[in-house]
Amino acid sequence: MDNKLITVTSPLLPNLDDFHEELKKIWDSKWITNNGSYHKQLEAALAEYLGVPYVSLFTNGTLPLLTALQALRITGEVITTPYSFVATTHSIWWNGCKPVFVDIDPATGNINPDLIEAAINPKTTAIMPVHVYGKPCDTKRIQEIADKYGLKVIYDAAHAFGVKVNGESILNAGDMSTLSFHATKVYNTIEGGAMIMHDETTKKRIDYLKNFGFAGEVTVVGPGINSKMDEMRSAYGLLNLRQVDAAIEARHQVAIKYREALREVDGITFFDDMPGVKHNYSYFPIFVDAEKYGMTRDELYFKMKEANVLGRRYFYPLISEFSTYRGLESARPENLPNAHQMANSVICLPMHHALSDNDIERTLNLIKNKSKFNEI
């Protein structure tokens, strides 16, 4: 029996010979960081590909979140979701602000706009929603609330590379959006990230802030940080941009096969594509109803793991359950029933461009065979 390890994700890698050719050019130039040629090329190429006006590259996906809060001078309280990766809320905490958790919409996993307004008080200055699994938030409703109360909106779009709604990039919503180009993402630069903004003035300010605040050789305009992407990763990113569409389509085909096979499995549910949305298929979460399925989420998760098929309980536990945040009033479980339900039932199945038909079949057979591992 084939027992090779099937990982939950796998990095999209450029052709090594092509990358080597670009590295030779960088070596010859001796310009390896500090806003070099490849850095400029990648910012321009990403802006065109994503359909956004301005892109500022960062060395990872957390630093643009931190910098967005700084650039918009956010203070006091920031409304956000507990159903995300910890970087979302950590960035709020590191900026000296207080995260306020709001429950999610179980139909999407995203922050529920109908609950945002009740969480607003005089200390609230911003909303930080997350496009969970790349599924677009209700940006129209969120913007209406933000405009009503004079709040800024920063979208954590780490999962939403290339996602569009009715032909428009989801990254154009809000005041700013941030991306992660981590190796586990649909598109990667090994480590990396970016911020999307709407005007040239903001682009310049962000570029100052990510370079220690320097606005010239001897001029520092603010307390910046060093978060510039280097030339090697920029070159890697340019090469990966050439093949990301094919990788997304390969993921799409995996999603189709998963859905066809699992639709009739009692106790297993999943998200379908949203109308009018161009998805990137960054993740494929399933949700386990233990009573109907006959096995708990964790029993299935460990059964898969013992069979060398790695899922991921993403996002479990909730951010609101971690020691830093669980003392907050908004973190009380009774305030977040939908988020807890989703966190306690989710498994993200293997999802990447390099999955073989055999990999998919092995994964599905483990789910469709409801026997516990030691009974097989």
- What are the DSSP calls for 216-267, one per residue? SSS-B-S---B-PPPHHHHHHHHHHHTTHHHHHHHHHHHHHHHHHHHTTSTT
Does residue 159 share a domain with residue 75?
yes
Q: Is 165 exposed, middle or buried (0-12, 13-18, 19+ CB in 10 A)?
A: middle
Does residue 300 share a domain with residue 224?
no
Classify residue 330: in a domain, yes or no.
Answer: no
Does residue 105 share a domain with residue 228?
yes
Does residue 64 share a domain with residue 199?
yes
The residue from 223, 241, 259 where one domain ends is 241
Report yes or no: 121 and 77 within 8 Å, Cβ to Cβ.
yes
Classify residue 11: in a domain, yes or no.
Answer: no
Length of the chain: 376
DSSP E strands: which ranges in the chain? Answer: 54-58, 77-80, 98-101, 124-128, 152-156, 164-165, 168-169, 176-180, 193-197, 268-270, 277-278, 285-288, 346-348
Task: Return the CATH number at 172.
Answer: 3.40.640.10
Does residue 279 share a domain with residue 175?
no
* Rounded CA separation 205/349 (Å): 40
Does residue 249 share a domain with residue 227?
no
Low-confidence ranges of the chain (pLDDT < 50): 376
How many CB atoms within 10 Å of residue 265? 16
Classify residue 256: in a domain, yes or no.
Answer: yes
Does residue 273 share a domain with residue 158?
no
> What is the span of the domain harbouring residue 126?
16-241
Over the range 327-361, which residues count as b (16 or more CB within 10 Å of their CB) and which as e?
ebebbeeebbebbbebbbbbbbbbbbbbbeeebbe
Classify residue 342: in a domain, yes or no.
Answer: no
Distances (CA, A) of 179 to 48, 77, 120, 366, 367: 15, 22, 26, 33, 32
Does residue 234 share a domain with residue 158?
yes
What contacts 370, CB < 8 A, 6 or more positions away? 293, 294, 295
Does residue 201 share a domain with residue 140?
yes
Classify residue 138: in a domain, yes or no.
Answer: yes
Does residue 126 share a domain with residue 198?
yes
SS3 277: strand
Over the range 4-37, which residues count as b (16 or more CB within 10 Å of their CB) and which as e?
eebbbbeebbbeeeebeebeeebeeeeeebebbe
Does residue 254 share a domain with residue 187?
no
Q: What pLDDT does residue 333 have?
A: 98
Task: Return the CATH number at 270.
Answer: 3.90.1150.10
Does residue 262 share a domain with residue 236?
no
Distances (CA, A) of 371 to 178, 264, 293, 363: 42, 17, 10, 14
Classify residue 85: in a domain, yes or no.
Answer: yes
Q: How many distinct structural domains can be found in the chain? A: 2
Classify residue 341: in a domain, yes or no.
Answer: no
The residue from 241, 266, 283 where one domain ends is 241
Classify residue 9: in a domain, yes or no.
Answer: no
Q: What pLDDT does residue 376 have?
A: 45
Strands 164-165 and 168-169: antiparallel
Token duo for residue 288? 């386990």
Tens-place pLDDT, residues 305-324: 999 999 999 999 999 999 99
Q: What pLDDT does residue 1 have?
A: 55
The residue from 241, 265, 281 where one domain ends is 241
Assess whether the previous peptide bond of 315 is cis (omega < 30° from 0).
yes
Give this prediction's pTM: 0.97
Report yes or no: 197 and 204 within 8 Å, Cβ to Cβ.
no
